[in-house]
Amino acid sequence: MKSLRAVYFNCHSGISGEMILGALIDLGANSAKIRKAIKTLNIKGCKLEVDRVQRGLIIGTKAKVSLTKSQPSRHPVRKYSDVKKLITASDFSSAVKKNSLEIFQRIAGAEAAIQNTTAKNIRSYEIGAVDSIATVVGGVVAMDSLKLDKIYSSPINVGEGFVQSARGCLPVPAPTTVKLLQGIPVFSTGAQKEMTTPIGAAMIGFYADEFGSLPAMQIVGDGYGAGDHIVAGMPNMLQIVLGKIYAEPDELVLIETNIDDMNPEFYEGTMELLFAAGALDVYLNPIIMKKSRPANKISVLATENHRQAMTEILLHETSSFGVRHHRIERTILDRETKTVKTLWGPVKIKIGKLNGEVLQVSPEYEECKKISRKNKIPVKQVYDEARSLAIKLFGPAVKR
């Protein structure tokens, strides 16, 4: 059964950029690679500090992008347009560039709406400060390293009260945070603190596919990122749970028709057209129809959105007067491809897994055939050699 790699952000104590970064490092993201990524930005005057701290009964990681002596001021020096140029010119992967820019775009858009200006002219601490840029990019690099399929989040604790900003005293949640959290479930436990920052709101709003309770999953890891506040009766930690979610069986459609009066030579062309149009499988079964007539049943396995195309091909290309179809489910093994080196050259191996356990190894026949012809040896000899090597390297384990 196919599994999806997923994380759940438990925002019981709010969320900030540094809490995200700390929790991801605690979960296993490589802090050295994150430091290298921040250095690649070529923004002088900051460094990533990583420490183990305790909040209440929980021990986690405190990630802090601090300013060095060469960067004495925390005031922003870059507009959104400057940050965009900085990230675009970096050596990051296209995914890291895209995700970083979209997070900053969210913040700039929220700030622009509040200040009644355009995003490109926005100049704020959350966008332009050196430590803010490093925190967002570091978090994006860490998220990208996890190779996730699904991202979930709990409702978000925003806190309450007031907070001092560069623009004076603001209510909690701050106006920018409110804009960024539109459409996202939030709450407050009464803590007179800013539990959720604009950067935290922008990042979780960008990444989370769904908000709600912890989904059914097989837990494989967890991480805790510490916040700045000490809150009575509450561990100020962001919890991230890493797990596997097993997908439901594929829902497909099986389309069939019985044929007793068609030239058998026509089947090959029909099958080619069906596969080209998106069929997952096409096969023939010999059957006996009324009056003891020998016939063939042609079966087509496809997704629902290919049903009409498959039906039309069968009615146009065969002598059938009609087809039948019904929904079916299938369960497939997780698949990956490896390569083994035989005496005669490399051969690709299809590997099938169930819940992480290797159950099947199968050499690619066409590659075995090509090697056999080139070396003038039986294809079975190449196939057996490749499969034997694959079993030694990858499994499956022998069960008794």
Contact (CB, 8 A) for 289 and 303: no
d(CA 65, CA 56): 23
* Mean per-residue pLDDT, 230-243: 93
213's tokens: 């309770």
Structural tokens at position 381? 């000899």
As a whole number, the mean pLDDT across the chain is 90
**Tokens at 124, concatenated:** 């704020």
- Where are the extended beta strands (E) located within the chain? 3-10, 46-55, 58-67, 150-153, 156-157, 161-165, 168-172, 186-187, 210-211, 218-226, 237-246, 250-259, 281-288, 294-302, 324-330, 334-342, 345-354, 357-363
CA distances from 70 to 43, 44, 74, 82, 130 (A): 11, 7, 11, 20, 12
Average pLDDT over residues 85-112: 92
Over its C-alpha atoms, the chain yields an Rg (Å, rounded) of 29
- Which pLDDT does position 45 carry in this prediction? 75
Residue 249 has pLDDT above 70, yes or no: no
Architecture of domain 334-394: Roll (3.10)
pLDDT at residue 123, as a whole number? 64
Residue-wise pLDDT tens digits, 259-308 = 999 999 999 999 999 999 999 999 999 999 988 999 999 999 999 889 99
Q: Flag whether pLDDT at 4 surpasses 60.
A: yes
As a whole-number percent, the residues of the chain with pLDDT over 90 amount to 71
- Residue located via tokens 């191996």: 349
For residue 74, is pLDDT > 60?
no
* Segments of the chain assigned to CATH 3.30.70.1380: 250-330
pLDDT band at 75 (very low <50, low <70, confident <90, very high): very low
**Arch. (CATH architecture) of 250-330:** 2-Layer Sandwich (3.30)
- What's the CA gap between 66 and 33, in Å, rounded? 17
166 — phi, psi (to 5°)?
-65, -20
Query: Would you state the pLDDT for residue 400?
Result: 34
Mean per-residue pLDDT for 304-314?
Answer: 94
pLDDT surpasses 70 at 397 = no
Position 121 scores a pLDDT of: 67
Encoded amino acid at 350, one letter: K
Residue 399 pLDDT > 60: no
Q: Which of 203-207, 243-247, 359-363 has the weakest average pLDDT?
A: 243-247
CA dihedral for 115, 117, 121, 127, sign (positive or negative) = positive
Least confident window among 12-21, 227-236, 265-274? 227-236
> pLDDT category, 2, cuts 50, 70, 90?
low
Say what the pLDDT of residue 315 is: 96
What is the largest distance, in Å, between two alpha-carbon atoms of the chain?
95
Domain with CATH 3.10.20.300 in the chain: 334-394
CB 209 within 8 A of CB 152: yes
Among the ranges given (114-118, 297-301, 340-344, 367-371), the one the predictor scored with the smallest mean pLDDT: 114-118
Q: What is the per-residue pLDDT for 190?
A: 93
Task: Work out the pLDDT band at 127, boundaries 50, 70, 90.
Answer: confident
Q: What is the pLDDT of residue 395?
A: 77
Q: Report whether pLDDT(357) > 70.
A: yes
The string of DSSP letters for 262-319 reads S-TTHHHHHHHHHHHTT-SEEEEEEEE-GGG-EEEEEEEEE-GGGHHHHHHHHHHHSS
pTM confidence score? 0.65
Q: What is the mean pLDDT of residues 217-245?
A: 94
pLDDT range class, residue 163, cuts 50, 70, 90: confident
Residue 321 vs residues 138, 256, 287, 315: alpha-carbon distances, Å: 62, 12, 17, 7
Q: Which residue has the higher pLDDT, 252 or 129?
A: 252
Tell me which of 46 and 106 has the higher pLDDT.
106
Among the listed ranges 67-76, 167-176, 285-294, which one has the minimum average pLDDT value? 67-76
